[in-house]
Amino acid sequence: MPTANVETQTDLKALTQELRVDIIRMIEKAGSGHPGGSLSIIDILTVLYDKHFQHRPKEPHWPDRDRLVLSKGHACPALYALMAHHGYFDKAQLDTLRKLGSPLQGHPDRFRLPGIDVSTGSLGQGLSIAQGMAMTAKMDGKDYHTWCILGDGEMQEGQIWEALMSAPKFGLGNLTAILDFNNSQIDGPMEEIMNINPIADKIQSFNWNLIELDGHDFKQIDDAIAKAKASDVPTFLLACTVKGKAVSFMEHQNAWHGKAPTKEEADKACEEIKNG
């Protein structure tokens, strides 16, 4: 069962504020990392883990757990903050992000950190892996769900579209892709690098159950995830988000894709988050 410990939208807001502070602090202490995309995906991850995700933090290899593929692996500070909150490891370990020998590497490493299903970071591969997991569940008669978090930059990769084409063929209603659609990638605005729009029309043409939502609205996220779990075809959640969400000087700023804040910047960011 989900290890839910929040009930209301007020609770969710307080929790995501706490997690955003954790994200900023761990990247600041590491001196490197990716704050922009971590801040944009944390609301979705929080609702997923607290209200829907079937897992047992004390039994991270529980066979019937849901699977998560963080295809945009550079956003792992968001996942690490959430895992610490749920008790996968002691929160003090967040200070070891990107340190030599730490289980909290700059991209998720399943061999170092129990609770990570797939080592990711090479963009464009995650949805294919998630599809394989979903197919395995069907073949084994298991009812766990597989979730895949994608970035809009990696949607430019051809392998993503092969998976998008094949998942409906195999009737994978137990697979949900979630696009963190913040319109920015490391080289600049997505539209200028390689425009993937009209993305909604394209996804629908591949016969996925498309749901568009505000990726920072807790109710919309909750409703969309519930609909995805009930679908008998693969679901694609097109979540419109803001890069650097909740920090005014990071929002919509591509420079914060992979830049660590200084102590002064981190202090300012955390103050904004807490007062948001």
* Per-residue model confidence as pLDDT tens digits over 104-132: 999 999 999 999 999 998 999 999 999 99
Q: What is the DSSP letter of 89?
A: S
Q: Around Cβ 29, how many Cβ atoms within 10 Å?
A: 17
Q: What is the arithmetic mean of pLDDT over 180-184?
A: 96
Whether the per-residue pLDDT at 207 is higher than 90: the answer is yes
In this prediction, residue 4 has a pLDDT band, given cuts at 50, 70 and 90, of very low
Q: How far apart are CA 115 and CA 210, in angstroms?
A: 28
The answer to whether 181 and 236 have CB atoms below 8 angstroms apart is no
Asked if the bond preceding 198 is cis, omega within 30° of 0, the reply is yes
Domain 9-275 is of which CATH architecture?
A: 3-Layer(aba) Sandwich (3.40)
pTM for the whole structure: 0.96
In this prediction, residue 9 has a pLDDT band, given cuts at 50, 70 and 90, of confident
